[in-house]
Structure formats: structure tokens, C-alpha cells
Structure 1
Amino acid sequence: MTVQVLLPGALAGLAGGARHLELQPDGGTLADVLDALAAEHPVLCRRIRDETGTVRRFVNVYVDGEDVRYAGGLRTPVTDGAEVQVLPSVAGG
């Protein structure tokens, strides 16, 4: 199975400048995708997940356009060819 991970410019620097990553996770959940991402880009993954492995509060993750907070969190199914988009929240005034 192959999954595309899409990163904004703010996170691309932590993946060697790549904004599109192709991963082959061992399983079919978001947790499996993030585990594969951590194996290749551990610093990037630490910006996405906290020390308990949970997606950080101010990071939004979408699988094929669906917010994982409402689709099962880390158990969200990820199928072959899926797009996983990672977007850090923007704050300020």
C-alpha cells in the first residue's frame, strides 16, 4: 500500500524540503502511516505527535479531506492511494 503525505511549507523543512512524501505503511490506519513517517522523518513526526503518540492539539490531520478528529483519530482507516494532509494550526492577531 502506498500513501501520499502532504505537508505545508512550514513543515517541509523537517522532511528535507519535500512537500509530498510517499510512504508504504505496514498497516491500514493513520497510526500506521504516522509510524512509517516517524521511521523516515523522526523530527517531523515529533511536531505532529506528542510523547504519548497522540496527534498534537494544534495539528490538524485529514485523510482524503476528512478531519481525523471526527473519523476515528489514529484508528482512521487509510487505504491504498490515500492522501494524508498535515496542517499546523495558525494563530495570531
Structure 2
Amino acid sequence: MSIKVKLPTQLRAAAGGASSVEVDGATVGEVLAAVYEVHPELKDRLADEDGSLRRFVNVYVGGDDIRFGDGLDTKVADGAEVQVLPAVAGGC
């Protein structure tokens, strides 16, 4: 099943400049593992040492935040769009 993973500008350098990556997977965890195989630098940016998503990384499937579903076990339908959004903080 082909899944489109959309990457924001701040992650594109770690993905060779790509704004999206097409991979296969049945769950968010499988999809991200496939993304890490293609672009290993993204794993350091998105996951901690045990493979869990870093606390500041938000992932959406079809616009729904996976934190309010099954997390990395969230099912992903063929043709779905997954969006990865690291939180951005700042101030004066």
C-alpha cells in the first residue's frame, strides 16, 4: 500500500530536500520505519533511542492526531496521507 508522508520545510534537508516521501506500511510505525530506511537522518530528528516519537513531534493521518488514537499502531489505509510536524517554539 502506497502512503504519502508529507514533510515540513524544517525536515526536508534530512530527506534530501524532498517535501514528501512515498512508502508502504499498514500502521504509522511501519510507515515511519520505511521512511527511516530511505532517509536515515530523519530517524534522529523524529525518534528517540527506543524508537518512540520524540515528545515534540506530531503525526497526523488524514488530519487526525495519532496521539488521540492508537499512536504508532494507528492503521493507515492505502493512499492515505501522513503528515509529520515537529512543534516549533520560540519567543522574544
Give the structure-1-normalised TM-score: 0.94
Q: Where in structure 2 are the equivalents of 1:1-93 lying within 5 Å?
A: 1-25=1-25, 28-93=26-91
Indicate the SS of the match to 1:23.
strand
Q: Give RMSD over aligned pairs.
A: 0.8
Distance 1:15 1:74 in 2: 21
Give the structure-2-normalised TM-score: 0.95
Structure 1 outlier segments of 4+, above 6 Å: none
Unaligned runs of 5+ in 1: none
Distance 2:82 2:44 in 1: 17
Percent identical pairs in the alignment equals 54
Unaligned runs of 5+ in 2: none
**When the two structures are aligned, how many residues end up with a matched partner?**
91
